[in-house]
Structure 1
């Protein structure tokens, strides 16, 4: 059979859910290729179903998922039908595509994958090349919401960046930029201003934007982008404010002020000061929709929705005996938020922390936040092809310890196998201690599944 005959062979339908997921994730070798040409071509072939949906587009370095969880929870409590598209997933591939808080059914995913497959293969034969895993996942999400479930709103999380991110195909009713930090700088630019410029790419002409960006250079970029697009900007610290009233484990209470009104008290059960920020961003987003899009959400519904919001793998206590906390702090800002929460929210005699990272992360700045507060550090390796070797991470830790011996006082344990590392963490963590697992969400997903005895775990992007 010639190569030409192979190329012209008709697309064979996928037979099972597992085959569909394997086909989509099999596109990973095509990598992350910024640009909208392939997704635009896919949408065109499908008659542009995304144009029929109302999107709340959420970008940012950290806090995207939690902000999406708050928005989804409040809208659901308000009686709205809600689609939610997030990444990565913690337990199963279907987690990424939710309607009213429930994963897409396996058979629906299979059917939609078969609808996409011939188009994906046809585009792969053109000069555009094959659509990537994330592009196909995004297209599948659009089909799920536009042709199967028909939600009132779609809470739509960016994958990477904003301007050239595949999700930027949509025209939202409001744009959200949670914050800007040092992550994916190999792809988004080597300064905070450059990263901010990429995130600001989701700002659309005349569409309001809500943000909690803090750094002066990032604020300047966001303000300029909003001005250029004639978009009204609502910035935390300027057009809206969050004032803490009380904090204890699993309960934070704050007051929310904006241009329109004051709401207090607001209670959330997610931990960490950063979650108050994320909740405030979500509330401001809903206020904008209330003012300009006739969204109806009563204050008691808002309170219920915020209190009920949950987001797995972020300051999540998955075990009480011993106390084991999971947090996917994989960049410096995430590590800073984790360290702040460990010092201010969680009581413990000794802190034992297990960490596994990917190769391309800013490890030293992450460690600078973590090392001063731990009694034991266990470095391990996530079960993933781009993992950082445990020995290499340990060498960096030892180098930092030697440079500042007075600052760092902890025991270092190196254990390549994450399952063995987890056993050691559990054994070390006494009744009045706290065990923490942090780093890449690939590690968090595996540990979470193991502790909660969830045999359905697939984990990944």
Structure 2
């Protein structure tokens, strides 16, 4: 069985979750490779991937070799493990993963539980980064922070917490304060923290946690007034906020890297699936929770205003998201006149008829709503239907974005 298939068959969850101590035991058996790297640890609800991409670009441009571990992948699993921004190739991925598979078998025989899907990929990334001799390792949390596998790292160089909103409430808590507490679990003694302080309920929790450790904190609003006007080349305000967090982090990591150099690096960043224009007037955006959709709405309104065009929408979600509230927000703020709702190729897919009913319920203008059997079918229909005065936005799920990008690549 190819190693990629072996990994895809691993469970996302296990009846008995490996504790942080268990994960540290596995890392120790790997030779404590992570302790030889300068690690930047990134948590948050939205913006983690963008911050990782921004920071990777700046560090690479500053002359460093950088390993970046992100999730999820959009098309291929290799996208989760980047060396100097490039997805690891199949040979190196397989070599690293086979080492982890062999070690997992040995440790399971000694009583440790087998790694889950995300744990296995995390170990594979650490192995690959060590083999590549990276100077910096940027780790994006998978879910939450406090109990996330990446939090087994004991001494990062820097921690970053991006914006926090409602998502994964069944695991992280029902209130912003509870969710923020889980994200703040990555904060460590003696490790500086850069964070988005624009959401008071979350900021209070983060600041209290930081004070308990007596660490240095650097809040986004300290620099927003200065940096925001310099970032007009981004097509969305949330991208500017993420860029500011990245710039503040870079200043701490590499003070000699000038402001001009930072801006030059940021202009080069290509982060797939985040308000990405894949064809003229065709955008894909991975917004998949309330905070993400609110940022998506703001960016969409700005783009439509600047181009003097109307939004039309290709939208679908997975069933464990607050789809109804997302749709209500979209209808209230964007009033799209055409909506295509495809069935996603995942067992987690939302029911398309239910999504269509919610669009029908909340739309305030005449709106053509079409359900489709697949993303490919919906995308083709939307492309053929789009008029010159319309911009097509595809949003609601990273699964949706991945399927569209995969179709475009083919």
CA distance in 2, matches of 1:432, 1:59: 39
Cα distance change, pair 342–265 in 1 and its aligned pair in 2 (3 A): closer
- 2:309 maps to 1:325: no
Q: CA deviation at 1:210?
A: 0.5
> Residue 241 of structure 1 aligns to a residue in which SS?
helix
Corresponding residue number in structure 2 for 1:277: 241
Corresponding residue number in structure 1 for 2:396: 439
8 Å Cα contact 1:38-1:123 kept in structure 2: no
Deviations 1:152-210 (A, max 9, x none): 11121111100100011112111000111111111111100000000000100011100
8 Å Cα contact 1:43-1:139 kept in structure 2: yes
Deviations 1:112-168 (A, max 9, x none): 11111122224445654321010010001111112x111111121111100100011
Aligned residues: 404
> Residue 58 of structure 1 aligns to a residue in which SS?
strand
Instruction: Tell me the TM-score normalised to structure 1 length.
Output: 0.83
> Residue 313 of structure 2 aligns to a residue in which SS?
strand
Corresponding residue number in structure 1 for 2:143: 160
Cα distance change, pair 265–389 in 1 and its aligned pair in 2 (3 A): closer
1:134-145 alignment runs, 5 A limit: 134-145=118-129
1:69-148 alignment runs, 5 A limit: 69-125=53-109, 128-146=112-130, 148=131
Q: CA deviation at 1:442?
A: 1.1
Match of 1:422 among 346, 357, 379: 379
8 Å Cα contact 2:337-2:365 kept in structure 1: no
8 Å Cα contact 2:196-2:203 kept in structure 1: no
> Residue 28 of structure 1 aligns to a residue in which SS?
coil
Q: CA deviation at 1:398?
A: 2.9
Cα distance change, pair 449–367 in 1 and its aligned pair in 2 (3 A): same
Deviations 1:376-431 (A, max 9, x none): 12112211121111112222333444xxxxx4542211223221111111122111
- 2:363 maps to 1:379: no
Corresponding residue number in structure 2 for 1:354: 314
8 Å Cα contact 2:68-2:138 kept in structure 1: yes
Q: Calculate the aligned-residue CA RMSD, in Å.
A: 1.9
> Residue 325 of structure 1 aligns to a residue in which SS?
strand
CA distance in 1, matches of 2:207, 2:13: 35
Greater mean deviation of Cα atoms: 414-423 or 267-276: 267-276
- 2:224 maps to 1:242: yes
Corresponding residue number in structure 1 for 2:5: 22
Higher share in helix: 2
> Residue 266 of structure 1 aligns to a residue in which SS?
helix
> Residue 160 of structure 1 aligns to a residue in which SS?
coil
> Residue 352 of structure 1 aligns to a residue in which SS?
strand
Q: CA deviation at 1:265?
A: 6.4
Q: CA deviation at 1:358?
A: 0.5
Cα distance change, pair 215–29 in 1 and its aligned pair in 2 (3 A): closer
8 Å Cα contact 1:39-1:139 kept in structure 2: no
Match of 1:311 among 246, 263, 271: 271
CA distance in 2, matches of 1:324, 1:75: 31
CA distance in 2, matches of 1:386, 1:92: 19
> Residue 437 of structure 1 aligns to a residue in which SS?
strand
Deviations 1:257-303 (A, max 9, x none): xxxxxxx963464421001100000011112224xxxx531333212
8 Å Cα contact 2:282-2:393 kept in structure 1: yes
8 Å Cα contact 1:37-1:128 kept in structure 2: no
Corresponding residue number in structure 1 for 2:205: 221
Match of 1:339 among 286, 294, 297: 297
Cα distance change, pair 122–428 in 1 and its aligned pair in 2 (3 A): same
Give ranges in structure 2 of 5+ residues lacking alignment.
none
8 Å Cα contact 1:180-1:213 kept in structure 2: no
Corresponding residue number in structure 2 for 1:363: 323
